[in-house]
Amino acid sequence: MGSAAEFLACLPPVLQLSICCHMQKAIHGITVAHFFETYREKLKMELITGEAGVHRVIREGTINRPALALTGFFKYFANKRIQVLGAAEMTYFKTLTPQAQTDVLNGMIDRHIPCLVLTRNFHPTRPMLAVAKARKLPIFRSPMITMNFVNLATLCIDNEFAPSSVEHATTLDVRGIGTLLRGDSGVGKSECALALIERGHSLVADDLTVIKLLDERELMASSRPLNRGYMECRGIGIINIAEMFGVKSIRLDKRIDLVVSLREWTPEVVEERTGLEENFYEVLGLKIPHIEIFVRPGRDIARLVEVAALTQALKKMGHDPAKDFNDRLIAFMARDVEQITAKAKPVPTKPISVKASIFSREEKNSAESV
C-alpha cells in the first residue's frame, strides 16, 4: 500500500499543491442533472419538462416550499434551493388566473431558481408548462407525500453539500466499529486490513478514504467508485476483495468511530500501558478517539486492531476496562491501608481507680503479716 502517496510525491510541485488544496473542501453547488440522476429512484422523481435546463445549479443544501412567493412576495425568497410544491401550494396556485400564474412563475425564474418539484403526482398547469418550456426550467414530479419527500430530499442534498476531505488511510468495519487505519507508506496497513478481512470484517476503502461530515456530528467514510472493492498488496499487486472473500467483505460507507495509527517501533518510543489517557484525531473539526500501535516483528497487528475496536465498542456502551480496573485498584489499595492502620493502633489500658489501688495495698500488707 502507499502507491497514492508515492504517486503524489512524483508529481510536480504545482500539481501537488493543486491536489492538496482539494483534499478538504465544501461543495458550493451541484447541478440539477446530478441530483436527478443520483436520487431519481430514491425520491421517485420523473422529469416532465425543461430538459434543456438541467444544467442549472442548486446552491443551497436544503429544500424550500415557496408559499409567500406564490402570492408575489419575493422578499427573503430562498431562490437558491429546490422549490417543492405540495397540495397546499398547488391548490392555491390553481385559484390564480392564467396570467397571474405566468407572472408568478416568471418572477421565480427571474430569481434563478434551480427547478420545481411537484409532489403527490400533481400535474402542472398549462401556464406552468408553457413558462417552464420557454424559460428552460426543469419540472419534476413525485408520487411521495410532500412531508416525506422534503425530509428524504433534505437528507440526500445534505449529503451532497457536506464538507469532505480525503485521508491517506484504509477504512474497515470491525464488529460495527468504523476503524480508520493510518500510517506511513509500507508500514503494513494493507496487510493488517487483509488479515482483518480474512477474519470476517469488511473493507470500506483502501489507501484513499473519502470522508464527509454529516450534520456536523459524524464522519462518514467511503471509497472512490473507481477503486471500490480493490486493494493493493505490496509484492502481490491489485486484488479484488469481493471476488476473493465475497460481497459481505465490502461496505459502501461506514461511520468513523476509531482512528488507529500504525508506527514503526524504535527503542525510544513510550507505549501506552494502561489506556487511561485518551487521545483524539481531528478530521473536519470533529475529534475521533485515536490510538497508536507500534509495529515490530512478532506482533499480531491485526489482532491488536481488532481488540482496540472491541474496546471502543465497550466504551460506547459505557464500559471502560482501563477505568474499571483503575477504580478496583484504588478500592483495593484503600482497603489495605485501612487494615494496616487498624493493626497499628495501640491497645487501650483500663485506668485503675484510687479506691482499687488502696484496697490492693491493704491486701498486700495482710498477706505479709501472715
Domain residue ranges in the chain: 30-161, 166-316
At residue 347, the pLDDT reads 56
Burial class (CB in 10 A: 0-12, 13-18, 19+), 176: middle
Burial 48-78 (b: 16+ CB within 10 A, else e): bbbeebbebebebbebbbbeebbeeeeeebb
**Quick check: 295 and 192 in contact, CB under 8 A?**
no
**Domain 166-316 part of CATH 3.30.70.580:** no
Among the listed residues 207, 254, 257, 315, the single catalytic one is 207
pLDDT for the residue numbered 216: 82
Annotated catalytic residue within 65, 81, 141, 168: 168
With 0-12 CB in 10 A as exposed, 13-18 as middle and 19+ as buried, what is 5? Answer: middle
- Grid coordinates representing 119 are 409532489
Residues counted in the chain: 370
> Vertex 166, ends 164 and 171: CA angle to 5°?
110
- Degrees (nearest 5) of the Cα angle 192, 198, 203? 65
Cβ atoms of residues 88 and 171 within 8 Å: no
- Helix axes of 126-135 and 98-110: crossing angle, nearest 10 degrees: 30
Whether 189 sits among the annotated catalytic residues: the reply is yes
Write a three-state SS string for 12-33: CHHHHHHHHHCCEECCCCEEHH
DSSP state letter for 167: E
Q: Which one, of 75, 38, 35, lies nearest residue 56 by Cα? A: 35
Strands 230-233 and 139-141: unpaired
- β 63-64/46-49 pair status: unpaired
Q: Is 168 a catalytic residue?
A: yes
> What pairs with residue 69 in β-bridges?
none
Is 248 in the active site?
A: no
308 in helix, strand or coil? Answer: helix
List of E strands, the chain? 24-25, 30-31, 46-49, 57-58, 63-64, 82-85, 116-118, 139-141, 164-168, 170-174, 177-183, 202-205, 208-214, 218-222, 230-233, 237-240, 253-255, 258-264, 279-283, 286-295
Active-site pick, 65, 81, 189, 251: 189
pTM over 0.85: no
Q: What is the dihedral of CA 247, 253, 255, 258, to 10 degrees?
A: 60
Burial class of residue 126 in the structure, from the number of CB atoms within 10 Å of its CB (0-12 exposed, 13-18 middle, 19+ buried): exposed
Q: What's the number of CA atoms in the CB half-sphere (13 Å) around residue 51?
A: 2
Q: Looking at residue 9, what is its pLDDT?
A: 47
217: exposed, middle or buried (Cβ count in 10 Å: 0-12, 13-18, 19+): exposed
In a structure prediction context, what are the per-residue pLDDT tens digits for the chain, which is 370 residues long? 444 445 444 544 334 434 443 445 556 789 999 999 999 999 999 999 999 999 999 999 899 999 999 999 999 999 999 999 999 999 999 999 999 999 999 999 999 999 999 999 999 999 999 999 999 999 999 999 999 999 999 999 988 888 889 999 999 999 899 999 999 888 888 889 999 999 999 999 998 999 999 888 899 999 998 889 898 888 888 999 989 998 889 999 999 999 999 998 888 888 877 878 888 999 998 999 999 999 988 889 999 999 999 999 998 888 888 888 888 888 888 887 777 777 766 656 555 554 555 545 555 555 555 5
**Which residue, chain included where needed, has cell 491493704?**
362
Fold of 30-161: 3.40.1390
Q: Return the C-alpha cell found at 217.
A: 456530528
Compute, in degrees rounded to 10, the torsion defined by CA atoms 204, 210, 215, 217.
Answer: 70
Alpha carbon distance, N-terminus to C-terminus of the chain: 109
Q: Which of 75, 273, 343, 355 is catalytic?
A: 273
